């Protein structure tokens, strides 16, 4: 039996259907609200608004649950690879051996970037942020690798091009910004191993792959592969709702991710740790500053908009963080500051009561720094990981038979009717 909610507006009763999700989530279907009543809802930030139904990712912020296509993210982090997880998100199921092998082969075949694209890189100013370059270059892929429609064959081509070439383009932007020669992908390396090699290999000092770092990179990208309807994912869906091609939608997602309140959080963690170290404040002093509401200082990497308990990704990333630091035996004062800050925050009653636990950005920033990833590449690393989720979300949106172009309403608060005053009378 269908559920309905009754709403009384100006003395008249209206019934609106209730949508119930797989995990018991409930929503009022108000799609007919304005048509029936003349009213709209007002929800800045969309914290209480569902923009779609989706079968991709389930989150429960109160219980600390995150699943891709029903599979807990901790199981994927332990047993899967980034490529296999990407297949799961995009296709809706785990691949068999033949499907996974075929995807790896196709990704390898798609890994090269058109040589003419180098001209673009060479003409960006040297101080251009890698996220700006990446967003522009992803959009430019449409010109170099045209897709004529959104048929299954064309979408598959675009998907493979994006997943494979984004790591090549990202490594290229880093190396060319440093004046170094471009390293091309190798067919005998895995997806993550190839990225590390393209970033750090050197003709005079060949890069030695460390399987523990390859594993850490796999885990990092798996944990960031999708996260429901966040800012960048919503941007991808909104652009896709206008029937824009996948390259354009992903370019918009990258631009949205660039913001410091979204993808820039792991970079902000390292910047905060640097400022703490340079300020000379002790860790107890830093904790007291964070508690003081009159102080502008904020602890970056603690708490989360959705999770009201420990971020499930943070638990996995913490374990990986400990493993990487232990393996590399890095002596880094910044990392020492981070560990001390984490230790105090995890035992302080103020943080525990307010659910201000270290989130995935806190640990991922430390791991990326330990691996040698430069600070301005942190958000790019996030974008590479989030790509499969963006693709899956775009695809789900454009294939929705009930889908419409996104067109929110507003409450106008400007001036009333105002007559034009000729220039000579002003």
User: For the chain, what is the total number of helices (H) and then of strands (E)?
Assistant: 18, 6
The answer to whether residues 386 and 249 touch, using CB atoms and an 8 Å cutoff, is: no
List strands edge to edge, sheet with 26-28: 4-9, 12-20, 26-28
**Residue whose tokens read 């990986």:** 320
Tell me, yes or no, whether 378 lies in a domain: yes
Does residue 107 contact residue 163 with C-beta atoms inside 8 Å? yes
Alpha carbon distance 193, 199 (integer Å): 10
pTM for this entry: 0.93
Residue 13 lies in a domain: no
Structural domains of the chain, count:
1
Is 361 annotated in the active site?
Answer: yes
Residue 93: its pLDDT value, please?
Answer: 98
In a domain, 138, yes or no: yes
Among the listed residues 201, 224, 226, 304, the single catalytic one is 304
Note down pLDDT in tens along the chain; length 426 residues: 479 999 999 999 999 999 999 999 999 999 999 999 999 999 999 989 999 999 999 999 889 999 999 999 999 999 999 999 999 999 999 999 999 999 999 999 999 999 898 888 888 888 888 999 999 999 999 999 987 777 888 999 999 999 999 999 999 989 888 888 899 999 999 999 999 999 999 988 999 999 999 999 999 999 999 999 999 999 999 999 999 999 999 999 999 999 888 888 888 888 999 999 888 888 889 989 988 889 988 888 888 878 878 889 988 998 898 889 888 887 777 778 888 888 887 888 888 888 888 888 888 988 998 899 999 999 999 999 999 999 999 999 999 998 899 999 999 999 999 999 999 999
Range of the domain at 273: 91-401
Alpha-carbon distances of 111 from 27, 173, 183, rounded to whole Å: 42, 15, 12
Report residue 261 as tokens.
């309140």
Residue 109 in any domain: the answer is yes
- How far is Cα 77 from Cα 320, in angstroms, rounded to an integer? 10
**CATH classification of the domain holding 328:** 1.10.580.10
Question: Helical H runs in 145-210?
Answer: 152-177, 191-200
| Close Cβ partners of 328 (under 8 Å, ≥ 6 residues apart) | 370
3-state secondary structure of 188: coil
The confidence score (pLDDT) of residue 343 equals 86
Helix axes 152-177, 130-144, angle to 10 degrees: 140
Active site residue 400: no
126 located within any domain? yes
Contact 277, 336 (CB under 8 A): no
For residue 120, the surrounding DSSP H or E stretch is helix 117-123
- Burial class of residue 215 (count of CB atoms within 10 Å of its CB; 0-12, 13-18, 19+): middle
Domain assignment present for 424:
no
Residue 355 belongs to some domain of the structure: yes
Residue 148 tokens, joined: 């004529």
pLDDT at 1: 46
- Is residue 293 situated within a structural domain? yes
């Amino acid at each position: 039996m269908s559920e309905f909610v009754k709403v009384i507006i100006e003395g008249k009763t209206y019934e609106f259907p209730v949508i119930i999700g797989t995990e018991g989530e409930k929503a009022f279907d108000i799609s007919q609200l304005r048509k029936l009543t003349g009213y709209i809802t007002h929800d800045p930030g969309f914290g209480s608004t569902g923009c779609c139904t989706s079968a991709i990712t389930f989150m429960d912020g109160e219980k600390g649950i995150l699943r891709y296509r029903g599979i807990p993210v901790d199981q994927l982090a332990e047993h899967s690879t980034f490529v296999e997880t990407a297949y799961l998100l995009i296709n809706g199921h785990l691949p068999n051996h033949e499907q996974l092998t075929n995807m790896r082969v196709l990704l390898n075949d798609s890994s090269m970037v058109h040589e003419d694209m180098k001209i673009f890189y060479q003409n960006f100013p040297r101080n251009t942020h890698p996220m700006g370059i990446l967003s522009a270059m992803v959009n430019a892929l449409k010109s170099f690798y045209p897709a004529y429609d959104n048929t299954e064959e064309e979408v598959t081509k675009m998907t493979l091009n994006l997943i494979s070439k984004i790591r090549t383009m990202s490594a290229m932007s880093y190396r060319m910004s440093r004046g170094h020669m471009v390293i091309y992908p190798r067919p005998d390396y895995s997806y993550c191993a190839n990225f590390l090699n393209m970033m750090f290999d050197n003709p005079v000092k060949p890069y030695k792959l460390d399987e523990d770092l390859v594993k850490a990179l796999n885990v990092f990208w798996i944990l960031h592969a999708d996260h429901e309807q966040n800012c960048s994912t919503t941007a991808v869906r909104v652009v896709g709702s206008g029937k824009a091609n996948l390259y354009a939608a992903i370019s918009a997602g990258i631009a949205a991710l660039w913001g410091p309140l979204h993808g820039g959080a792991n970079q902000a963690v390292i910047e905060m740790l640097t400022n703490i170290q340079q300020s000379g404040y002790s860790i107890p002093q830093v904790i007291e500053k964070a508690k003081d509401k009159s102080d502008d200082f904020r602890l970056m990497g603690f708490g989360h908009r959705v999770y009201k308990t420990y971020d499930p990704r943070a638990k996995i990333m913490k374990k990986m963080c400990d493993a990487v630091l232990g393996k590399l035996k890095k002596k880094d004062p910044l990392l020492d500051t981070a560990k001390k800050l984490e230790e105090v925050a995890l035992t302080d009653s103020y943080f525990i009561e307010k659910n201000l636990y270290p989130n995935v950005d806190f640990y991922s920033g430390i791991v990326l720094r330990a691996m040698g990833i430069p600070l301005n590449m942190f958000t790019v690393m996030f974008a590479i990981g989030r790509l499969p989720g963006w693709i899956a979300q775009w695809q789900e949106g454009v294939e929705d038979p009930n889908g419409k172009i996104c067109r929110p309403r507003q409450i106008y608060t400007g001036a009333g009717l105002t007559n034009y005053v000729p220039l000579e009378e002003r």
